[in-house]
Amino acid sequence: MSRTFTKIGKEITMAVKAGGPDPSANSRLRALMANAKAANMPKDTVERAIKKASDKDASDYKEVIYEGFGPHGIAILVETATDNTTRTVANLRSYFNKNGGTLGNSGSVAFMFSHKCYFHVAPKDGITLDDLELEMIDFGAEEFEQDEEEIIISGAFESNAEIQKYLEDNGFEIKSSEFIYEPADYKELTAEQMADIEKLIDVLEDDDDVQNVFTTMKEGEGDE
C-alpha cells in the first residue's frame, strides 16, 4: 500500500508543479485526488503532498519513458518519475542486462503501444450505456464497459481532459482514472518464459523511480 501512496504522491507533485495546488483549477490534480481516495490514501496525507509540492524547494520530478526488450522478444515500456535521470537510466540498464533484456533507444518499442486514458465512473440513474456512448463519442471516448459497480470509459490519451470535463460537467462521480500504454499485439509465452518476464518486471517495479511497467506479454497461465 505504501508503494501505491508513494506513486500517487509523485503524480500529485508533478500535477501541482504543472497546474498549481488548487484542485478546482487543476483537472489532473482533481483526478489524482479521486485516485488517492480509491486507494484509501488518508486525506491528510494527500493534503500534505499538495502542500509539499507547492514549496519551491520541492523535488522536481520528470516523467520519462524508457523502452527496451525483455527475454523472449517481449517489448517493455517503463514509466518513471525521476529527479535524477542519470541514476534512473543506469539502474534500468542494469536490471535489463541482469535479467536477459536490453534497454533500448527512444522509439525502439513505443510504436507498438497506444497511450490511452481510462475513467472508472459510478453508474448514474436514468443514464444507459447507449446514452453515454452517443453523448461521449464527440468528446473522444472510444470504448465503454459496465458492470454492477462501475462504468469504464476509455479513449486516446489526448482526449483525457475532454472526457474528464464532460463527466464532471454532467455530474458523474469519477471513482478513479489512469493512463495506460496498451500494446497493439500481445505475444503468447510458455509458463516458464512468462516467469522470466515477471522476474524482470518485479525488479523494475521495486525501483523507487518506476511508476508503471507495460509489456507486450499476453497475460494468463501460459502454454506448457
* Predicted local confidence at residue 60, as pLDDT: 86
Name the amino acid, one letter, at 109: V
Domain spans of the chain?
Answer: 2-54, 61-224
Strand duo 75-82 + 151-156: pairing: unpaired
* Predicted local confidence at residue 223, as pLDDT: 53
| Residue 120 to residues 36, 127, 215, Cα–Cα distance (Å) | 13, 15, 22
Q: Which three cell numbers stand for residue 64?
A: 520519462
Burial of 209 (0-12, 13-18, 19+ CB in 10 A): buried
* Predicted local confidence at residue 3, as pLDDT: 85
From the list 221, 1, 214, the residue with the least C-alpha distance to 109 is 214
* Predicted local confidence at residue 42, as pLDDT: 95
Q: Which three cell numbers stand for residue 138?
A: 464527440
- Mean pLDDT in runs of 10 for the chain (224 residues)? 87 94 95 96 94 84 96 98 96 98 95 97 91 94 92 97 96 96 96 97 96 93 53
Whole-structure pTM value: 0.90
Q: Please tell me the class of the 61-224 domain.
A: alpha beta
* Predicted local confidence at residue 55, as pLDDT: 87
In 61-183 the beta strands, taken as DSSP E runs, fall at 62-69, 75-82, 102-103, 113-121, 141-146, 151-156, 174-183
Burial of 138 (0-12, 13-18, 19+ CB in 10 A): exposed
Q: Please tell me the class of the 2-54 domain.
A: mainly alpha
